Every structure is written in structure tokens, then in C-alpha cells.
Amino acid sequence: MTRQNRRGTVLITGASSGLGAEMARQFAALGYDLALCARRTDRLDALADEIRVSTGRIVHTAALDVTDTTAVASVFHDLVQRTGTVDRVVVNAGVGTGAPLGTGRAEANLATAMTNFVGAVAQTEAALEIFRRQGHGHLVLISSMSALRGMRRSMTTYAATKAGIASLAEGLRSESIQGLDVSVIHPGYIRSEMNAHVEQRTRFMVDTPTGVRAMVRAIERRRAKAYVPAWPWLPLGLALKVLPLSVVRRLT
């Protein structure tokens, strides 16, 4: 695909590894130019070089810690200056650390809340400012299947942040901002660096390319909400909403 028939520019945060890195590869393969942000710039730059060689796409990179809310706005606007326009922003940066509340590990839960939710709000603020000025844009927020119900132990804060992200997306859709599409993606068990410590035989776990392919497909369709991969997470998602907490506890 040549530069002349490019499909637009996608900005992805948390793009140095895991789902973010694989989304970058797959969007580039579809013909998108990229603006990639992450804290680990060495890995980010290596990924950018890989994508340039394999696809010929234009890839911009920037260092970004999404908990630095002032930096989020500055980096997003700088990337717009460098790319000319940003057509889609994928709010993906996140961490999976956590501990049971009240067990002396408050720093892990606060770090998760700051990165996953406060950071997501900062990214959404910056993206919406850009999209309102442009008159168009597609905001994609990466939530989780864990957002559908309260989770126990070390998952409690993580699940709450992901529920907050889903609520943020719904609120923006309710606002019906002209020219703006909003998607919230709820991934199920997709193998990534974040969950590398999880038992390899976890039920329904899929490899990174397979899981991300389902995510990218839903994003390309501009789905308002998607449980991915659809099997088994679509029926499980519907069930999770109504099952008693005692049953949910055994499933998670």
C-alpha cells in the first residue's frame, strides 16, 4: 500500500509491548500510519523500525508516562503537529498490578488506579480536544471483561478502573458529539506481557496475534462495545452481568 492511499493515522498509548505493540503491527499492515507512545522508548523505537521495514508506513514515536497528566496533552498535541492529523486514538496504556485492599499494598492499587483510570481520563481529555478541533475522530478505550462485575483480591482495583473506562465511553456516546465515534473494547484472556505470570493453561486464553486480530476487527467496524474474541466472551459477558456473585467468583 502506497503513501497516497494511506488510511489515516492511529495514535496508540502503551505501545511498547503486549497488546499495544501488536495493535501497532496490525494497524500498519492495514495501511495506517502510526503515532506510538510509551515509557520504554528503546522498545518503542525498535518496534517503529520493525514496522517501517515490514510495511513502509510512517511511524512517529514519543516518550509518555500517562500518569503525568500535563505531559499527556503536550505529547498528543506534538504528535498532531508532526502527523498533520490523528484519526483514531487508542487509550491502551495500563498496568495489571494490585493487591487485596487493606493488606498493606496500597501503593500497588494506587498505581493501578492512577495509570488505568486517571491516565485514561487525561488521554481522553487530550484526544477529545483534538477531535473537537478537527471535527472528526475515533476514540477507542481498552477496558476488560473484568469490568463487567466486581472482582476479588488483587483484581478488585484493576476491575474497578476498567469499569470506570467503560463508563467514560458510555458517557461520551451519550453526549453524541458530532463527528466522534467512541468504542470500548473488552478483551478476554489474551496472552501478553502483563499476564505472562498467569498459568499457561488458563481456560479460553488465546495468543497475542489472535486476540488482537479480534480487537482490531471490532475497532475497524467502529463497534460501540465489543467483547473479544467473540467466542466465548460474548455469551460469557452476557452471563456475567446476571449471574450471582457466588457463581462469578468461581469463574474468575
The answer to whether 147 and 159 have CB atoms below 8 angstroms apart is: yes
Query: Residue 65: helix, strand or coil by DSSP?
Result: coil
Q: Which residues pair with 24 in a beta bridge?
A: none
One-character DSSP codes across the chain = --GGG---EEEESSTTSHHHHHHHHHHHHTT-EEEEEES-HHHHHHHHHHHHHHH---EEEEE--TT-HHHHHHHHHHHHHHHS---EEEE---------TTSS-HHHHHHHHIIIIIHHHHHHHHHHHHHHHHT-EEEEEE--GGGGS---GGGHHHHHHHHHHHHHHHHHHHHT-TTEEEEEEEE-SB--GGGTTS-TT-TT-B-HHHHHHHHHHHHHTT-SEEEESHHHHHHHHHHHTTS-HHHHHHH-
- 173: its cell numbers: 456516546
Please give the helix or strand (H or E) that residue 249 lies within, else none: helix 245-251
Q: Is 158 a catalytic residue?
A: yes
Q: Of 88, 89, 102, 126, which is closest to residue 14 (Cα–Cα)? A: 89
Q: Which of 32, 158, 189, 227 is catalytic?
A: 158
Catalytic residues, by residue number, are 158
